[in-house]
Amino acid sequence: MENFDKDIQDQMNALADRYAAELRNAVSKELSKPSYKSSGMLASSVKVSVTPATGYKPPVINLEVEDYGELIGKRKMLWVKQPPLQKMIDHIQKKSVSLTKIPGYVSGAPNLPESKKIERVAFAMAVKKRRDDTFKRRPWKKQSFPDVLRKLNSETIEKFGGHVERMLASSIETLK
């Protein structure tokens, strides 16, 4: 395979840098919309980096967001098994959840130890999450990617199409 010369590598890197900034702006703008009910943390977590072109590889644009950014783009949270009970217990202890209504007890279980109350509430939360946990999908990738990628593809073909044709022709000539 033919090696990209330094001039073409520099042009491809400049193009990738320009579109990486445009992609970051488009994603941040989309995630800042009120429909995401965001505190701004997800939009500010957007990081875009470019791995520069080498002699044989084109540049790569890498997009990173917080993990929950992936969750809001999914259709529905599907639990294949019950959510982890220990995490629910930790959450109840950390948030100081009121233990006046204990599932399965009408009177609030006054004789039940505190640890058992916490376990019962955590178990009820986990069962409810498994049964009912759904949320509305927010397809932020569909809203922010297409325009940027379409422009990037057309400009790449326009600038480097002739070079790719020459590379293919020289590769075919060496095979004969």
Please indicate, yes or no, whether residues 128 and 140 belong to a single structural domain of this protein: no
What are phi and psi for residue 113, nearest 5 degrees? -60, 155
Cβ atoms of 19 and 151 closer than 8 Å: yes
pLDDT digits (tens, 9 = 90+) for 40-97: 788 888 899 999 988 778 889 999 988 777 777 665 566 667 778 888 888 888 877 7
Least confident of 26-35, 79-88, 135-144: 135-144
Is residue 67 located within the same domain as residue 104?
Answer: no
Question: What total number of domains does the chain contain?
Answer: 2
Residue 109 burial class via C-beta count within 10 angstroms: exposed 0-12, middle 13-18, buried 19 and up: middle
Whether 10 and 45 share a structural domain: yes
pTM above 0.75, yes or no: no
* Over residues 137-142, mean pLDDT: 73
Average pLDDT, the chain: 81
Structural domain contains residue 90: yes
Task: Identify whether the C-beta of residue 92 lies closer than 8 Å to the C-beta of residue 121.
Answer: yes
User: Is residue 7's pLDDT more than 50?
Assistant: yes
Whether 62 and 91 map to the same domain: the answer is no
pLDDT at 1: 42
Query: How high is the pLDDT of residue 135?
Result: 56
